[in-house]
Chain A
């Protein structure tokens, strides 16, 4: 019997006032019983509109049916046929605009909790299945992947399964890209990311950390070394600043720096050697998921007041609704329709405040969002000692500056066709390096598409 409840089963979570003081995972996951109950809300529609909403095309009704039958490993097999990082996606995908956004149950009531079910299945598998992945038979071809983030890991996994000898080159000392330096532990435990990477290694993938392509080695040298095809998933790591006075005062961070110190370098732990400012009053400028992550980290590091300062309204925020809600529950103060104009400093050049103006929404701009207009004479000073700029990133210029024949657009992103092929033969690209800052799942989708195209390219060549 289908479960006709209009509401999703609630996700058990740490209490807001407890979790905003620790870095442990916020959402605790469904029990098997809850998962089956939630799975029973799926009507197993014939036209599977949810699948169309998934960037990697997971057969969603099929895996949910397996949950209904309590065949959790069977559900895992279905998911992992399409997605190489299910435990990650179940946690960080914006399901409300993807699979769940298309769910028929969402027309009247809430959609099926597809993301929560995916997470349940992946966690169940990680906990119960110890069988090592079988190493595919080698096809004798070498592929190089640049960047161990979501796009690169997905591409590597798919190519390895097809028998390629895959090497991933990663600039940082740890593989995972944004999954380890950006997304905080409380939203995506690093042990989960490590497990996914260990899974790739079990498939025979080699991970070379501490290797900056464009500096340590170039794309042309990789070809000389015998790699036949290359995927660039180098992300969009270059932080933007606003260009307002006072941005170089001590206590102004890019979200990248603040999150990297906290997550990758573990500055929140007492035994880490990497310092971070434990500020009292923090302003995070921006309205995306990264801004929410930075704000929630700042709170956990002990800040009394953490503000999200965003020039448009809450409805215009690009962050996932769930992240906004979680942030609010944890006591983050939202100052929407406010825009910083200057950062103030004390005599030692530490941040002492941020001057803002109030905004109002005018006509919709080219992106369709109503553009904010300054309210004259509305300026005020927000009392903060730390400012975190979370207003976007652009691709790193290192690879484009050191590789001939790689076309980029005016924003510095690689130009690639729908299969990820760049302007150079055998070189593919995907993820933020092509699109500019976007989501984990879109990067994974691009890695997947490219892997397929790379395989076809090698087959046709030989």
Chain B
């Protein structure tokens, strides 16, 4: 069992938790992920490591409440325990030798983009962060990004905070204004990453994406997380989760991510109803 030592609501649909897992904390690096199970009947879900504290032995996860499992997880409080927590899994993000990088995050994906921006910043790399949200209420980690970025572009779809527009608008402007990046690192919804990649391809800027497909074991056993990258089948859990964005078949990845949508929707509703009943 793994203790929740801190819980913080970042916005109505996104929660942060510090989980006591010293062995995972000792090894975790930005870009890697963990798999957790909330309870005995729970499914295994992958979440990318948002931060870690080797001394305290904690790993930070940030998750969006999208289904039954994240709903159940969100109902857990500080001091309570979750059933299973395993990691760090996957290959860490490549950060060596980078001098100037644009980190592009969208929505809850910013939770994963942040530790990479932080690591790059600590390595002395110039970091331009572009973060996008639907509206002001959904903004997360603004201060944190500010602290590790040489430039921060805050974008919202409706203009309720920062600049109105998409992350690709800001990135295009920066590139067109003459900013030369060694690499663009982008993490967020598949559709966003797809368009970031389309843009950077146009300008010939190397782009790394972090994929978060459906998976079970996270160690290469099930093959459920397979993607087509440069015409080859890759397993996100062991070959990734980072890939060369210009080679990823995003359309296929988007299709594959919808495999269990109807089940997830009905299971989420059931879980919500259950919690409502308990509340009464």
Interface residues of A (CB under 8 A from B): 171-173, 181, 209-212, 215-217, 237-239, 241, 243, 247-248, 250-251, 253-254, 256-257, 260-261, 265-266, 271-275, 277, 348-349, 396-398
Contacts and interface: CB of A to CB of B under 8 A. Distances in A.
A260 B221 contact: yes
B87 A237 contact: no
A139 B208 CA distance: 52
Contacts of A256: 221-223
Contact of A215 (B43, B89, B221, B264): B89
B267 interface: yes
Contacts of A348: 255, 258
B77 interface: no
Contacts of A173: 37, 44, 83-84, 86
B41 interface: yes
Q: 10 tightest CB-CB pairs across the interface, nearest first?
A: A257-B222, A210-B86, A275-B263, A237-B221, A349-B255, A254-B223, A273-B43, A274-B43, A275-B260, A173-B84
A182 B233 CA distance: 23
- Interface size class on chain B is 35 or more
Interface stretch (B144-152, B198-206, B212-220): B212-220
Nearest to A170: B86
A272 B44 CA distance: 11
B228 interface: yes
B219 A398 contact: yes
A348 B233 CA distance: 20
Instruction: Give chain B's interface secondary structure class.
Output: mixed
Contacts of A241: 223, 226, 233
Given A257-B216, A396-B221, A210 B85 contact: yes
A243 B232 CA distance: 9
A386 to B, nearest CB: 11
A211 B27 CA distance: 12
Nearest to A278: B263
Contacts of A398: 219-220, 238
Interface string B55-75: 000000000000011000000
Interface of B: 23-24, 27, 37, 41-44, 68-69, 83-89, 216-217, 219-224, 226-228, 233, 238, 252, 255-256, 258-260, 263-264, 267
26 contacts: A172-B217, A212-B86, A212-B87, A212-B89, A215-B219, A216-B23, A216-B27, A217-B23, A237-B221, A241-B223, A243-B233, A247-B233, A250-B259, A257-B216, A272-B41, A273-B41, A273-B267, A275-B43, A275-B260, A275-B263, A275-B264, A277-B259, A349-B252, A349-B256, A396-B219, A398-B220
Contact of A397 (B27, B44, B227, B238): B238
A247 B183 CA distance: 32
B228 to A, nearest CB: 6
Nearest to A254: B223
A265 B219 contact: no
A215 B87 contact: yes
Contacts of B42: 273
Contacts of B227: 248
User: Considering residues B87, B217, B233, which has the most beta carbons from chain A within 10 angstroms of its beta carbon?
Assistant: B217
Nearest to B226: A248
A216 B222 contact: no
B261 to A, nearest CB: 10
A266 B217 contact: no
Contacts of B228: 248
Nearest to A259: B222
Nearest to B249: A248
Contact of A265 (B23, B216, B233, B256): B216
A239 B24 CA distance: 26
Nearest to B225: A257
A250 B86 contact: no
Contacts of A243: 233
A238 B221 contact: yes
B223 A211 contact: no
B220 A397 contact: yes
Contacts of B255: 250, 348-349
Q: Tell me which of A238, A260, A273 has the highest count of chain B C-beta atoms within 10 A of its own C-beta.
A: A273
Contacts of B83: 173
A271 B86 CA distance: 23
Interface centre among A171, A181, A215, A271 (most CB of B within 10 A): A215
A212 B219 contact: yes
Contacts of B44: 173, 265, 274
Contacts of B222: 239, 254, 256-257, 260-261
